[in-house]
Amino acid sequence: MLSMASRGMAGFGLLVLFACFAIAASLSDTVFYENFDEDFEGRWVVSQNSDYGGTWKHAKSDGHDDYGLLVSEKAKKYGIAVDLPEKVDPKDGSLVLQYDLRLQNGLECGGAYLKFLQPQEAGWTANDFNNESPYSIMFGPDKCGATNKVHFIFRHKNPTTGKYVEHHLKNPPVPAGDKLSHVYTAIIYPNNTLRILIDGEEKKTADLLSEEFEPTVIPAKTIPDPEDKKPEDWDDRAKIPDPDATKPDDWDEDAPREIEDEEAEKPEGWLDDEPDEVDDPEAVKPEDWDDEEDGEWEPPKITNPKCEEGPGCGEWKRPLKANPAYKGKWRAPMIDNPAYQGIWAPRQIPNPEYFELEKLNLEAVAAIGIEIWTMQDGIFFDNILVAHDEAVAEEYRKTTWEPKHTVEKEKEAAEAKKSDDKADKTSVDNIKEKVFEALNKIAEVPFLAKYKEQIDAVLDKAESNPNVTLGVLATIPVLLFTMLFSLCLGKKKSPPAVTTGAIKKEDLVTADDVSVPKGEQVEEAEQEQAGEIEKEGVSARRRPRRET
């Protein structure tokens, strides 16, 4: 019998073995993965077709250290392709297609989709990759004009005719319209079900064999016979004029629709002899008017003021009214057509292209191509995946796309908050800003240069204090006006006391804030002939002149 230690080692070994199997199974489910950490040159082939002149770049996503494949020029066609390590046949099981896309400059007109190409034996080469290169599935955003959708198109070979037909998803989802990274996923199941996910959230589910695709994969059993023609004597009129009807004897087809209102009377005060318009009495003939060259000058017309004041001018005419005898052109009433044969349609014949199908026969995928025309640059492709298990795609979304998207969302939210904070600036703040701007300009006036130091000190203190009140702001222009008034009289007056009311102590403008330097005190003493400056408390007042 095995010991406890032996059984423990055996159990651990089994866990390791199961983990190895799980990793191997996950790797086997991943057919192709491209994260563009390394330069794409040597692995991807840029189309040399002359129509595809757009330059692809191996670049970092804006704000990240993550590399991807970048559309670098506007208004260009782009073509690039890469072979898969092995062909993928959708008939063998589920097929998962996924890639990251970031429209760094938005998308107004252009494509941003991938083409999952048939093997090159179908008639294409990577060097000449173009719009005609045969693909099995086309998937991804496309926007221009009225088009704004996530394409899902597959090409299916009609087994009866051997012709390939493109089948378009009728109501596809709308792509993300911002400038953040998004991940697009398409999953095709063996039961013909399609799921489209954006950022891991299901946006569309459809049956590939249903009428959700245009045209449907399975054609109609019958079609209109192209050789069948409508007989010349076919009567498809449901209603006809009554051949037995006759026009009544009293029916007057010539009676007018409107007649004069005989009961109307001319309003009292109507000015029959006044014209509707008169010459503009204020118009003056231009000095440079030459009667010989320009003709006789006539003043412009204006509405006759008398007509505006009265009920009307000119010849009065009775207004028109509806004619009660008016009947118009007589027509026979409509009756059911006794010879009516119904709406003609060509007869139905068996559709020579009809076939029956229980399981979709998609073409194998052997390569991935990006073949787009776009007016925008900054289209960023990354983390392209082809797999069999949707769990693999989910894991890649969590580890590669989600961290990038989270960072971008946080940055976007921070920028939005900053913008909102700026927009929320109160009207008081705006008023305060304009007042300080005006006061600072006033402080630069030359004849106030003597007081500039004191004015600047007061403004600096008030402007730096967020709780400054409008009362303090109102004080400053009073001080400036007082100084200006003193200068005009040739005498220096001290600013009046400030009643601050409910102003906080720390917001008070004190005498110390506006004190005069000692050198200027002497000058003030000389200028002051009959008064004295006395400082009391927080205000400076001038005493009244002494009586002599």
Q: Kindly report, residue by residue over 360-397, the tens digit of the pLDDT.
A: 889 999 999 999 999 989 999 999 999 999 999 999 99
Q: In this structure, are 433 and 386 located in the same domain?
A: no
Q: Which residues lie below 8 Å from residue 448, measured CB to CB, with a gap of 6+?
A: 442, 455, 480, 483, 484
Strands (E), 179-241: 181-188, 193-198, 201-207, 213-214, 222-224, 239-241
Q: Which range marks the domain in which residue 438 is found? A: 413-485
Residue 439: band (very low, low, confident or very high) from pLDDT cuts 50, 70, 90: low
Query: In the predicted model, what is the mean pLDDT of the chain?
Result: 82
Task: Please check whether residues 378 and 424 belong to one and the same domain.
Answer: no
Residue 61 structure tokens: 């996503």
Residue 190 to residues 170, 206, 300, 358, 448, Cα–Cα distance (Å): 21, 13, 85, 11, 89
| Residue 519 within a domain | no
Q: Assign residue 31 the CATH number of its domain.
A: 2.60.120.200
Identify whether the C-beta of residue 378 lies closer than 8 Å to the C-beta of residue 90. no
pTM above threshold 0.75: no
Q: Please tell me whether residue 110 adopts helix, strand or coil conformation.
A: strand
* Banded model confidence at residue 453, pLDDT cuts 50, 70, 90: confident
Residue 445 lies in a domain: yes
Determine which helix (DSSP H) or strand (DSSP E) holds 314, and give its type and residue range. Answer: none
pLDDT score for 435: 66
Q: Is the pLDDT of residue 495 over 80?
A: no
Q: Is 272 exposed, middle or buried (0-12, 13-18, 19+ CB in 10 A)?
A: exposed
Average pLDDT of span 494-516: 45
Residues 125 and 198 in one domain: yes
- Asked whether residue 419 is assigned to any structural domain, the reply reads yes
Last residue of some domain: 469, 485, 501?
485
| β pairing state of 76-88 and 45-46 | antiparallel
**Domain assignment of residue 248, yes or no:** no
363 and 425 share one domain: no
- Asked which of 305-309, 451-455, 535-539 is least confident by mean pLDDT, the reply is 535-539
| 396-422 b/e (C-beta count within 10 Å ≥ 16 → b) | bbeebbeebbeebeeeeeeeeeeeeee
Q: Tell me the per-residue pLDDT of 273-283, one tens digit each, with 9 for 90 and over.
A: 889 899 999 99
Which of 134-148, 378-392, 492-506 is least confident? 492-506
- Would you say residue 450 lies in a domain? yes
pLDDT per residue as tens digits for the range 206-257: 999 999 999 999 999 999 999 999 999 999 999 999 999 999 999 999 999 9
Counted domains in the chain: 2
Judgement on whether residues 470 and 368 belong to the same structural domain of the protein: no
Q: Do 472 and 376 sit in the same domain of this protein?
A: no
- Domain boundary (485, 501, 522) is at 485
Per-residue pLDDT at 450? 67
74/187 same-domain check = yes
